[in-house]
């Protein structure tokens, strides 16, 4: 009886809660208590609809955390206070819990567009006029700095044209609000533990997919700055690409030569393409998503017939592996946006043209020459209508070619070190972004 009296006579947290006056709960975050992992959202499968480029769109809310006022702070139990005290976290009466590390590092600036330049906002709100563009990117519009090492790629958001993503060797992914009058750095994502080799925007959500040398693929909600899903690989991830006909599917290629088709909805591999290949250097889907091309490093085996392979997605078989038989690797392959052809950036310091129809013949009479590759992962990009082809270069310049004649149209000296990637804007045909081996990003218009 004495034990029972002592047990029931002790003041409990539940009794404290009963004696306290009722107050509305306030959402807070704890550094010691992490919420249970969120289940991945059950996205419904639906036919692919092209991204809506026309603005205005509902502005994306900033990833600002709710702050509790001192008078309405959440009650912290005795046990929770004891654990927080043991961890060294200082808790004031009526204050919210400490912010988590992920949110603090991710949320930097704004991802909305009320502070954009008037001319840029007008261009984003209007659909591009049909037909080829009549002007080229000429002047430097914005210079973006934040990476501390080489940048591997840049990618424009297809649905929010003021946002640009970049992946770097400094283990980070940056999201840039390019023309913001205040802070152009919108997000700094530090979820990878090694160099990030590729980053791609989701085709219909404000999500970013990134892959790197830590053998992981991470899907991040840019609005919240949180990882939605982590896909574990058995190889270092070199390149990723979303399927244009089904945005819930993406393809990844890595250091062991394995190509995998993933489904975001279930987080599993649905197809795997095996052919004892070297490191996958680049991949690209055809417009209908039924085929894709892969570029492989074949220097170890000295077999050039597998340098470029055209694959059938449904049957998981190569349609041709003897597309490019010259003794050079190709760090970049790109389908033409409107014609049945594709190009390959060669370490022979030129860009070759191929037919996208069997037998996928090489055009022996036309190639794009003038820029240099020299072992750098230099990429190229088609303009919105496919009339121009832009390429980075080992000398730090951007080269613009006429696709029909392969004639050099213009050269812009962008960086002092190698220009590794270029990306035309998906809405404004006279805007292009470029990144360098020195960690710089420049946007020209």
The full set of domains in the chain, from first to last, is: 75-103 (no CATH), 105-444 (2.130.10.10)
Structure tokens at 18: 């009963």
- Distance between CA 395 and CA 417 in Å, rounded? 6
CA–chain centroid gap for 92, Å, is 40
Q: What is the pLDDT of residue 181?
A: 87
User: Shortest CA distance to 324 belongs to which of 301, 303, 304?
Assistant: 304
Q: CB of 62 within 8 A of CB of 115?
A: no
pTM to 2 decimals? 0.76
Q: Supply 373's token pair.
A: 């590759």
Predicted pLDDT of residue 105 = 57
* pLDDT value of residue 30: 40
**Phi (first) and psi of residue 288, to 5 degrees:** -90, -5
State residue 15 phi and psi, 5-degree precision.
-65, -40
**pLDDT score recorded for residue 222:** 93
Distances (CA, A) of 342 to 198, 230, 328: 21, 32, 17
Q: What is the pLDDT of residue 59?
A: 46
Q: What is the pLDDT of residue 381?
A: 98
Is the distance from CB of 35 to CB of 102 less than 8 angstroms? no
- SS3 string, the chain, reads CHHHHHHHHCCCHHHHHHHCCCCCCCCCCCCCCCCCCCCCCCCCCCCCCCCCCCCCCCCCCCCCCCCCCHHHCCCCCHHHHHHHHHCCCCCCCCCCCCCCHHHHHHECCCCCCCCECHHHHHHHHCCCCCCCCCCCCCCEEEEEECCCCCEEEEEECCCCCCEEEEEECCCCEEEEECCECCCCEEEEECCCCCCEEEEEECCCCCEEEEEECCCEEEEEECCCCEEEEEEECCCCEEEEEEECCEEEEEEEEECCCCEEEEECCCCEEEEEECCCCCCEEEEEECCCCCEEEEEECCCCCCCHHHCEEEEECCCCEEEECCCCCCCCCCCEEEECCCCCEEEEEECCCEEEEEECCCCCCEEEEEEEECCCCCCCCCCEEECCCCCEEEECCCCCEEEEEECCCCCEEEEEECCCCCEEEEEECCCCCCCEEEEECCCEEEEEC
Residue 224 and residue 248 in contact, taking contact as beta carbons nearer than 8 Å = no
Q: According to the model, what pLDDT value does residue 219 have?
A: 97
Residue whose structure tokens are 């006279």: 430
Q: What is the pLDDT along the chain (445 residues), one digit of tens a residue?
A: 454 444 444 444 444 444 444 444 444 344 444 445 554 444 344 443 334 443 344 444 444 444 434 333 445 555 555 555 544 444 343 333 333 334 435 667 788 877 888 888 888 888 665 555 556 677 999 999 999 999 999 999 999 999 999 999 999 999 999 999 889 999 999 999 999 999 999 998 899 999 999 999 999 999 888 899 999 999 999 999 999 999 999 999 999 999 999 999 999 999 999 888 899 999 999 999 999 999 999 765 556 678 999 999 999 999 999 899 898 999 999 999 999 999 999 999 999 999 999 999 999 999 999 999 999 999 999 999 999 999 999 999 999 999 999 999 999 999 999 999 999 999 999 999 999 999 999 999 9
3-state secondary structure of 70: helix
Residue at token pair 């991040």? 220
Which secondary-structure segment (H or E) carries 7? helix 2-9
> Which residues partner with 408 through β-bridges?
401
The CA-to-CA distance between both ends of the chain, in Å, stands at 84
pLDDT the model gives residue 116: 82
Q: Using CA atoms, how far apart are residues 208 and 218, in angstroms rounded to an integer? A: 8
Instruction: Name 367's bridge partners.
Output: 352
pLDDT at position 76 is 57
Element (H, E) at 399: strand 397-402
Q: Please, are residues 252 and 260 in contact by the beta-carbon 8 Å criterion?
A: yes
């Amino acid at each position: 009886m004495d034990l029972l009296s002592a047990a029931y006579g002790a003041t409990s947290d539940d009794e404290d809660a009963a004696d306290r006056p009722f107050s509305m709960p306030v959402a807070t975050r704890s550094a010691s208590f992490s919420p249970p992992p969120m289940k991945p959202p059950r996205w419904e499968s639906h036919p692919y609809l092209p991204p809506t480029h026309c603005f205005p769109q509902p502005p994306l809310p900033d990833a600002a955390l709710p702050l509790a006022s001192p008078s309405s702070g959440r009650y912290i139990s005795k046990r929770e206070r004891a654990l927080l005290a043991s961890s060294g976290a200082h808790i004031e009466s009526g204050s919210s819990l400490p912010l988590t590390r992920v949110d603090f590092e991710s949320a930097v600036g704004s991802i909305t567009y009320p502070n954009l330049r008037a001319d840029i906002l007008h261009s984003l709100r209007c659909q591009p006029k049909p037909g080829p563009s009549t002007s080229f990117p000429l002047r430097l519009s914005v210079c973006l700095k934040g990476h501390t090492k080489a940048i591997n790629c840049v990618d424009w958001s297809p649905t929010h044209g003021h946002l640009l993503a970049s992946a770097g060797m400094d283990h980070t992914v940056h999201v840039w609000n390019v023309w913001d009058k205040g802070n152009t750095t919108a997000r700094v994502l530090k979820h990878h533990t090694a160099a990030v080799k590729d980053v791609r925007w989701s085709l219909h959500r404000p999500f970013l997919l990134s892959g790197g040398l830590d053998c992981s693929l991470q899907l991040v909600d840019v609005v919240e700055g949180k990882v939605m899903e982590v896909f574990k690989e058995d190889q270092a991830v070199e390149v990723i690409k979303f399927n244009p006909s089904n945005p819930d599917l993406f393809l990844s290629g890595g250091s062991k030569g394995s190509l995998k088709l993933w489904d975001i909805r279930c987080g599993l591999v649905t197809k795997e393409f095996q052919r004892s290949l070297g490191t996958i250097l680049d991949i690209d889907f055809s417009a209908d998503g039924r085929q894709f091309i892969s570029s492989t490093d074949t220097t170890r085996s000295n077999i050039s017939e597998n340098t470029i392979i055209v694959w059938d997605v449904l049957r998981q078989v190569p349609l041709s592996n003897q597309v490019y038989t010259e003794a050079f690797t190709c760090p970049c392959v790109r389908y033409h946006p409107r014609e049945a052809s594709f190009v390959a950036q060669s370490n022979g310091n030129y860009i070759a043209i191929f037919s996208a129809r069997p037998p996928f013949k090489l055009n022996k009479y036309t190639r794009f020459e003038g820029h240099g590759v020299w072992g750098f992962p230099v990429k190229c990009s088609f303009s919105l209508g496919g009339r121009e082809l832009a390429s980075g270069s080992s000398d730090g310049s951007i080269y613009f070619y006429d696709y029909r004649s392969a004639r050099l149209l213009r050269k812009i000296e962008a960086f002092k070190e190698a220009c590794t990637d270029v990306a035309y804007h998906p809405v404004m045909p006279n805007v292009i972004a470029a990144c360098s081996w020195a960690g710089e990003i420049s946007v020209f218009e």
